[in-house]
Structure 1
Amino acid sequence: MLLKTFQFKIGRKVKLLEMKRTTNKKKRKKLFIRKKKLLATKKTALKWFVFLFSISTIASLGTGYLYYQTLINLSSRDKQSILKGYSLLREFEQQIEISGNQSEEQIKTEENIRHLATKLASFGTVKASLLNSSEGQGRLNRYYNSLSQLGINTSQQVNSIYGNVELVTELLADAERAIKIERTVFSYYKVDENRLYK
C-alpha cells in the first residue's frame, strides 16, 4: 500500500513534468534530468520493496518452521522421561515374568518389583512440556499416566505376585497396554524404537 502511494506520487510528478513545455534549452534539460531522477527513485524504491518483502517472507517462513519443529519435537525433559519409562517398562515385564516362573528367590524378586513399581508410580507427577502441541501433550500425559497407574496397581499387590499366575498375567496385560500407548507416542514423535536398545 505504501509502495503504491509512493509510486503514484512519483508518477504524478513525472506526468506534471511531461506536461510542462518550454522552448528554453536549459529548462528542458533541467526538466529531463528531474524526470530521470524521479524515475530512478521510483526504480530504487521498487527494488528496496522487493528486497525487504523477500527478507520478511523468508524470516516469517523460518519462524513458522521453527515453531512447527518445536511442536513436533520432544523437549529434552520429555526425551529423558520417555527413555526412563521405556527401560522401566521392559525391566518391569522381565521381573514380573521371573516372578511368575519363580526362577529367582522370592525376596529378591519382590524387592525388584517394589523398586520398579515405585519408579513407575512416580510418573504421576510428570507432565508433558507445554512447548509440545496439544495433541502431543495429550499423548505424553496419557503415557505418563499409564506408567503411573501400572506402578500404583503393582505396589499394592507386590507380596501377592510371586507364583500367582493369574496376577502375573493381569500385570503383563497392563504393561502391554502401557506399551501400546508408548508406541502411539513413538509414532507421533517419530522415535526409532530400535535406537533405544543401543
Structure 2
Amino acid sequence: MEILQWAFMVGISLAIISLIFILYFIASFISQGKGIKKAQPIKTKNKRKKKKLANELDKMKVKRKKARRNIIIFLLLAVSFAGGSYYITYYQSTNLSVEDTQNITDGFYYLRDLQQELEAIQSGETDEAKSKQTITFIVTSLAGYSVKKANTLNTIEGQRALNRYYSSMSELGINISRRATQLYTDPDVIAESLTDIEKTTGHQRQAFKFFKVDESALQSEK
C-alpha cells in the first residue's frame, strides 16, 4: 500500500476519533449546563452548605467551559484531518501512482527504442542479429501491457487515458511480434509498423498531457 493511501486511512481514522470526542464533550457540556441550572435555584441559610454548593457550581462552570473549549479544539482537528484526507484523495485522483509512473516511463523508452530500431532496419544501418534480439525484448515487454490497468483511485478520465495507452502498447507489441520475421524482408511491414508506433505515441501524448508529464525530461534522462 502506498504512503498516500496509508496517510488517507490515518487521516480518516483520526477525523472519526475527533468526532467521537466532540460528541463526548457535547454531552458533557449539556450535562454540566443542566447541573448548573439545577444548582442555582437552591438557597440555604447554612453557610457551610451554601459554600459547598457554590464550590460545586464553580466546578461545574469550569468543566462546562473546558468542555466547550475541547469541542472547538476537536472540531478544528476533525476538519483538519478530514480536509487532509480529501486533499490526498484529490491528489491521487489527478496524479500518477508509483506503478503507473513506472509503466508510462518504461513505455516511453520502449516506443522510442523500437522506432529507432525500425528506422535503422529501414535505412539498412543495423546488425540483424542484435536488432532481432532488441526488438524481441521490446515487443515482448509491450505485449505485457495487456495485464496493466490504471490505478482505480484516479479519475475516470485519467483511467481511460492510461488504459487506452496500455491497450495500444499491448496491441503494438503483439502485431509487430507476429510479423517480426518480415521486418527484414518487407519494407511495407516496416512502414506499417512505424505508422502503428505513431498511433500508439498519440495515445501516449494524450496520457502525458492529462497528467502533465514532462516528455523533455524523459528524453534527457536516458
Q: TM-score range by the shorter chain?
A: 0.7 to 0.9
- Alignment partner, residue 28 of structure 1: 50
- Alignment partner, residue 142 of structure 1: 164
Report deviation, 1:43. Answer: 0.2
The 8 Å contact of residues 71 and 133 in structure 1, kept in 2 or not, is answered as yes
Matching residue within 198, 202, 215 for 1:176: 198
- Alignment partner, residue 161 of structure 1: 183
Residue identity in the other structure for 1:184: Q
- Determine whether 1:93 maps to 2:115: yes
- Alignment partner, residue 117 of structure 1: 139
The 8 Å contact of residues 25 and 70 in structure 2, kept in 1 or not, is answered as no
Report deviation, 1:10. Answer: 2.4
- Alignment partner, residue 64 of structure 1: 86
- Determine whether 1:15 maps to 2:33: no
Matching residue within 208, 215, 220 for 1:186: 208
- Alignment partner, residue 77 of structure 2: 55
Count how many residue pairs are aligned between Structure 1 and Structure 2.
198
Whole-Å separation in 2 of the counterparts to 1:161 and 1:12: 88
Q: Provide the TM-score with structure 1 as the length reference.
A: 0.80
Q: Provide the TM-score with structure 2 as the length reference.
A: 0.73
Question: Equivalent pairs: percent with the same residue?
Answer: 31
Find the residue that maps to 1:19 and give its secondary structure: coil
The 8 Å contact of residues 26 and 71 in structure 2, kept in 1 or not, is answered as no
- Alignment partner, residue 41 of structure 1: 63
Report deviation, 1:128. Answer: 3.4
Report deviation, 1:107. Answer: 5.7
Q: 1:119 to 1:20 in 2, by over 3 A?
A: closer
Residue identity in the other structure for 1:120: L
Whole-Å separation in 2 of the counterparts to 1:135 and 1:157: 33
Whole-Å separation in 2 of the counterparts to 1:54 and 1:162: 69
Whole-Å separation in 2 of the counterparts to 1:159 and 1:119: 18
- What residue ranges of structure 2 are gaps of 5+ in the alignment? 1-22
Report deviation, 1:2. Answer: 5.3
Find the residue that maps to 2:40 and give its secondary structure: helix
- What residue ranges of structure 1 are gaps of 5+ in the alignment? none
The 8 Å contact of residues 140 and 185 in structure 1, kept in 2 or not, is answered as yes
Whole-Å separation in 1 of the counterparts to 2:140 and 2:28: 71
Report deviation, 1:32. Answer: 2.4
The 8 Å contact of residues 72 and 189 in structure 1, kept in 2 or not, is answered as yes
Cα displacement string for residues 139-184 of structure 1 (whole angstroms, at most 9, x for unaligned residues): 3222121111111111222333347554433322211111121122
Larger gyration radius, structure 1 or structure 2: 1
